[in-house]
Amino acid sequence: MFIEPNISGERRGWIEVICGSMFSGKTEELIRRLKRARIANLKVEIFKPAIDTRYDENDVVSHDANSIPSTPVDNSQTILLLTEGVDVVGIDEAQFFDDQIIHVCEVLALRGVRVIVAGLDMDYMGKPFGQMPYLLSIADFITKLHAICMRCGNIANVSYRKSNEGGQVLLGEKETYEPRCRKCAHEKA
Active site residues per annotation: 93
Other CB atoms closer than 10 Å to residue 172's CB: what's the count? 15
HSE-up (13 A, CA, CB side) for residue 167: 5
Decide: 100 and 57 in contact? Cβ < 8 Å: no
Q: DSSP secondary-structure letter at 95?
A: G
Distance between CA atoms of 68 and 71, rounded to whole angstroms?
Answer: 10
52 by Cβ neighbours in 10 Å (0-12 / 13-18 / 19+) ranks as middle
Residue 128 three-state SS: strand
At 27 the three-state DSSP class reads helix
Give dist(CA 177, CA 162) in Å, integer.
6
